[in-house]
Amino acid sequence: MLDARAKASYKKRLAELREEIAESRRLGEDKRAQKAEDESDAITKELARAVGLSGRDRRAAAVTERARVNIARAIKATIQKIARSNSAMGQHLAKSIRTGTFCSYIPDVSPSDGTMRPAQASAESAASSSIDAVAAAAVAEPGDISAHAAPDGTATILFSDMESSSVLFERLGDLRAQEILRAHNALVREQVALHKGYEVKSMGDGFMIAFSGARRALLCAIAIQRAFTSYCQQNTATPIRVRIGLHVGETINESADFFGKAVILAARIAALAHGGEILVSATLRDLTESAGDLRFAEVGEVQLKGLAGTHRIYKAIW
């Protein structure tokens, strides 16, 4: 918005710039002319933004509306950035993230050939997509989190998300589901802070957390599950079930981030978990069982998407 005084000042300056451009061209001072033209273009654009198609002044949008528009633009820009490094994930996010009055993530799990998938396959696809979305977003915008690795350069990665969050949104509607989502995120962040974890990235109901120690990461995962057990006892109509996966591995030291095999393994392990479960890699189990207070049940050897060979997975007993 520009008031009358500002518009009059801009118009006066435009007249001065036109004279300066003409004089500069006449004297052969091209650089001076170009500088004046650039300023003239900038002022013209500013005036155009303040005037509607009919020539009347534009009305200023409400603060909340401007914030909503800015957030929507930021989300779309991030999705475009992800798509440049992972086209399939970019397409998935573009279909699944809604940026209307409320921002929400509702996984698109329909197959490309139009056929129906079994319910179990659909649920697994939604789980994998949610976790993959967080991992892809973290890769697209890596941050310097070297301070959160152990002295030997290893880090423990925790992935978590809600079970059947898309069903929740469809059943309750955006308004109520957003309340549940905020409660979920608050509980997760509370336990992460208490256990000195670092939130690498979050998207919707999905989290990627880094810890310098494997034991502290697993204790945080157990605390998260216990917190949601208490929540469900108090909110029987809208229970929240969370799945968690952890792995410990070396970081990519050259770029001071965690986006290597450790992240891929942790994400794939989390995608195998069901609501209320904590699944961990054999490496993490070996590092944390010696004290005797943490117990595990063997899940078995599994193949993980995008990774060669088989991997032994354990379920933490909490």
Structure tokens at 232: 């469900």
How far separated are the first and last CA of the chain, in Å rounded? 58
The pLDDT, as a whole number, for residue 112 is 41
Strand partners, 310: 303
> Burial letters for 113-136: b for 16+ Cβ neighbours within 10 Å, e otherwise?
eeeeeeeeebbbbbbbbbbbbbbb
- List pLDDT tens digits, range 157-212: 999 999 888 787 778 887 888 889 999 999 999 999 999 999 988 888 899 999 98
Residue type, 20: E
pLDDT by residue for the chain (318 residues), tens only, comes to: 556 777 778 788 888 888 888 888 888 888 888 888 888 878 777 766 665 444 455 554 556 666 777 787 788 888 878 877 666 677 777 777 766 655 666 655 444 444 434 434 444 444 456 787 787 766 566 566 667 777 777 889 999 999 888 787 778 887 888 889 999 999 999 999 999 999 988 888 899 999 989 999 999 999 999 999 999 999 998 899 999 999 998 765 444 444 567 788 898 999 999 999 999 999 999 999 988 899 999 999 998 877 788 999 999 999
Alpha-carbon span 183 to 191, nearest angstrom:
13
CATH class held by domain 142-317: alpha beta
What are the boundaries of each domain within the chain?
4-49, 142-317
Alpha-carbon span 110 to 115, nearest angstrom:
8
The DSSP code sequence of 289-316 is: STTSS-EEEEEEEEE-TTSSSEEEEEEE
pTM: 0.61
The pLDDT, as a whole number, for residue 284 is 94
